[in-house]
Amino acid sequence: MQKRALLLSLLFVLCHSVLAAEERLAPIEPPMVSIPGGQFKMGSDHAEESQPIHQVTIKPFRLGKFEVTIAEFTRFVEATGYSAPHMCIQMAGKQWFDNIPTENMPATTILTRSQFEPATCIGWNGANAYVQWLAKETGKKYRLASEAEWEYANRAGAATRYFFGMEETQVCKYGNVGDLSQRAAIKRDYDGLDTANHVGQMPCDDKAEYASIVGMYQPNAFGVYDTIGNVSEFVADCNHDNYIGAPTDGRAWVDGDCKERVVRGENWHWRAAIFSARNAMPADMIGSLEGFRIAEDIDGNSAEQQKIPSAFEVELGQAQSRERERRSKLAELTPTE
């Protein structure tokens, strides 16, 4: 009888351990916002690569409220054994950027301070592998956004230089970009390197020196955070020199030279970019300024679902609160300093 009880007890412990392990390795589903369908004029006359301006029809879809974090990508690595890159082009020593080890920590840089910062040093292939795994594990139609969807969601109905308007001094309320705090930190940490001479700077202070915890700035009208800065974001599209022949139905443009993939949005190292700015990176390049966010196909004009915040969202909220408290104690830098 005692042996049977002991066996049952051991079986219970084993089952509990297996279930706990499965729970630990389950995907962290990203907080999403619903993006309504509509039409918009994509592109601008500010640069040749953003022309011709053309009308695009977007179906309703969901988009990650935040850029995918280190915590989320690390869960993917732990669950699958994915071989995350061990080298990454990032700030190093007295140089602007160099290819240096990531110290065996997936999706991080030597400047990382929080697991709730965006996942970088993963490349386009890492981002795509992540969304494929997330879709398979959850049964949902997760994917990378198309370039058209990204611009549409970033604008959120606005036609101005930035989704909030035109004034550069207001940028730091809405995103983590190359600004006064970033300039001071790089001069301090990198032997006097001056970003004002290298890439310019925005005339404001967002209180972040390098990458920031996601969601620290004001969102756009759709409730999407960090499209102006923090990290640039890989989308699904292959690179094209301009929009001649681009799809008009919002889908990703995946023919042509897929050795390079489009990235949208600017990052903490550079000045804020206007809504139409485009860039591209080799698909196999592993850099510290590029991350991604999740898109999801939905049926019809589905409204955003209300749900109890996940453990991830609670922990993220706590990290954001601590960071806001820390920043509240920092002196405000001005362009004269």
- CATH code of the domain containing 177: 3.90.1580.10
- 224 is a domain residue: yes
- Whose CA is closest to 55, among 295, 240, 250? 250
Considering all CA atoms of the chain, what is the largest pairwise distance in Å, rounded to the nearest integer? Answer: 83
Q: What is the pLDDT of residues 209-224, one digit of tens each?
A: 999 999 999 999 999 9
Q: Is residue 88 part of a domain?
A: yes
Whether 327 is in a domain gets the answer no
pLDDT at 15: 42
Number of domains in the chain: 1
Tell me the per-residue pLDDT of 151-201, one tens digit each, with 9 for 90 and over.
999 999 998 999 999 999 999 999 999 999 999 999 999 988 998 888 889
Instruction: Return the pLDDT at 306.
Output: 57
Tokens at 46, concatenated: 């500010």
Does residue 320 belong to any structural domain of this protein? no
What is the per-residue burial (b if ≥16 Cβ within 10 Å, else e) of 304-335? Answer: eeeeeeeebbeebeebbeebeeeeeeeeebee
- Within 13 Å, how many C-alpha atoms sit on residue 310's CB side? 12
| Domain range enclosing 199 | 32-100+109-300
17 within some domain: no
Angstrom distance (rounded) from CA 296 to CA 71 = 20
pLDDT beneath 70: ranges in the chain: 1-24, 300-306, 336-337
Does residue 11 sit within a domain?
Answer: no
- pLDDT for 177: 97
Residue 264 and residue 232 in contact, taking contact as beta carbons nearer than 8 Å: yes
pLDDT of residue 1: 46
In a domain, residue 243? The reply is yes
* Any domain includes 95: yes
pTM for the complete prediction? 0.90
Q: Exposure string (b/e) for 74-96, b if CB count within 10 Å is 16 or more?
A: bbbbeeeeeebbeebbbbbeeeb
Contact 199, 182 (CB under 8 A): no
